[in-house]
Amino acid sequence: MSVELLVVGAGPAGVSAALWAKALELDVLLLDGADVPGGQLHSVHFHPQDVPGFEQGDGPALAAAYARQLAAASVPLRTASPAESLDAAEGRNPVVTLRGGESIEARAVLVASVVRRRRLEVPGEREFDGRGVSFSATRDRDQLAGREVVIVGGGDAAFENALLLAQTGSRVTLVVRGEPRARAEFRSRASAAGIPVLDHTRVLEVKGDTRARVMRVSGPGGERELAAEGFVIKVGVVPNSEWCRGPVRCDADGFVAVDERLATSAPAVWAAGDITRPTPPSIPVAIGQGAQAIAMIRAALRGR
């Protein structure tokens, strides 16, 4: 199969890019590894207040609006189609191979395939996954409601999970490796809700029997054990760039390096959204980069 432009990833960056591409009459195909478009929006369980024009609703509601908008604009979208590798070299079109072996050749590829959950990689974390260790308090809210819960992480997701669980009557403690990085609004709401934050504290191990019972941590006061009924790990994300690393230069953490025109080191390959490590990683920046990338790609392909 061959298209003019292949957009890999249907989060805010990829959706914005695909809508722009369609409006500019590029022959575009939008791919996503997940079953529905929206990307990280499916993890945003509150109203994102920095998105102009989106007056109410949570992340999944915005993702549903994206799906409707893509359908209304007749943007070809293939879901459940993760990209597995990229072949790109000077003098020929890039080719993306999907899981299952199908290859798609394109005159231009836009990488907008962002992130997945990071793990702590400590003993017990994988062993007790699903038996007291959770990676999403929103998904496991019913089991965690009203219980003693430790949440690990200092970013927006950890604080958001802590606030959601506190609302269900859980007694929550936050364990943060350094200083909390969550937005000020979340930090002050956590403080107002009386949620203790153990900062500069590292997790050493999760221990238990048939399920996780204790987290061993090391902090300013030395080592200690935190007993709880649930342990939620929200320590950020790692970029989904393995499939394009090699032809595309990435930084030491796996984020794609781009120039001011959002071009990567590989010929005919651009990138947009959180995968480029923008400041701040956010819905409006992802949307803006998606649009900007299409302007650059159109100029490269059509000369205007």
Ligand X SMILES: Cc1cc2nc3c(=O)[nH]c(=O)nc-3n(C[C@H](O)[C@H](O)[C@H](O)COP(=O)(O)OP(=O)(O)OC[C@H]3O[C@@H](n4cnc5c(N)ncnc54)[C@H](O)[C@@H]3O)c2cc1C
Instruction: Count Cβ atoms below 10 Å from residue 121 Cβ, excluding itself.
Output: 9
Q: Which residues bind ligand X (CB under 6 A)?
A: 8-14, 31-34, 39-41, 43-44, 48, 50, 82-83, 112-115, 156-157, 160, 240, 243, 273-274, 281-284, 286
Helix (H, G, I), strand (E, B) or coil at 38: coil
Query: Strand order of the sheet with strand 202-208?
Result: 202-208, 212-219, 222-227
Of the two residues 132 and 273, which places its CB atom closer to ligand X in the complex? 273
Q: Smallest distance from the beta carbon of 202 to ligand X, in angstroms? A: 22
Q: Smallest distance from the beta carbon of 298 to ligand X, in angstroms? A: 19
Structural Rg of the chain based on CA atoms: 21
What are the residue ranges of helices labelled H in the chain?
12-23, 59-72, 141-144, 156-167, 184-192, 283-302
Of the two residues 127 and 251, which places its CB atom closer to ligand X in the complex? 251
Q: Is the dihedral of CA 289, 292, 296, 297 positive or negative?
A: positive
Of the two residues 86 and 217, which places its CB atom closer to ligand X in the complex? 86
Report DSSP state, residue 257: P
Q: Smallest distance from the beta carbon of 22 to ligand X, in angstroms? A: 17
User: C-alpha dihedral over 251, 253, 256, 259, to 10 degrees?
Assistant: -40
Of the two residues 47 and 216, which places its CB atom closer to ligand X in the complex? 47
DSSP for 157-168? Answer: HHHHHHHHHHHT
Q: Smallest distance from the beta carbon of 281 to ligand X, in angstroms? A: 4
Q: Smallest distance from the beta carbon of 244 to ligand X, in angstroms? A: 8
Which residues have C-beta within 8 Å of that of residue 178, sequence separation ≥ 6? Answer: 154, 199, 200
Using CA atoms, how far apart are residues 267 and 262, in angstroms rounded to an integer?
A: 12
Instruction: Count Cβ atoms below 10 Å from residue 266 Cβ, excluding itself.
Output: 22
Of the two residues 10 and 294, which places its CB atom closer to ligand X in the complex? 10
Of the two residues 231 and 243, which places its CB atom closer to ligand X in the complex? 243
Q: Smallest distance from the beta carbon of 45 to ligand X, in angstroms? A: 7
User: What angle separates helix 12-23 from helix 283-302, to the nearest 10 degrees?
Assistant: 40
Which residues have C-beta within 8 Å of that of residue 185, sequence separation ≥ 6? Answer: none
- Torsion-angle region of residue 246: left (phi > 0), alpha (psi -120 to 50) or beta? left
Of the two residues 116 and 131, which places its CB atom closer to ligand X in the complex? 116
Of the two residues 80 and 89, which places its CB atom closer to ligand X in the complex? 80
Q: Smallest distance from the beta carbon of 112 to ligand X, in angstroms? A: 5
Q: Smallest distance from the beta carbon of 66 to ligand X, in angstroms? A: 10
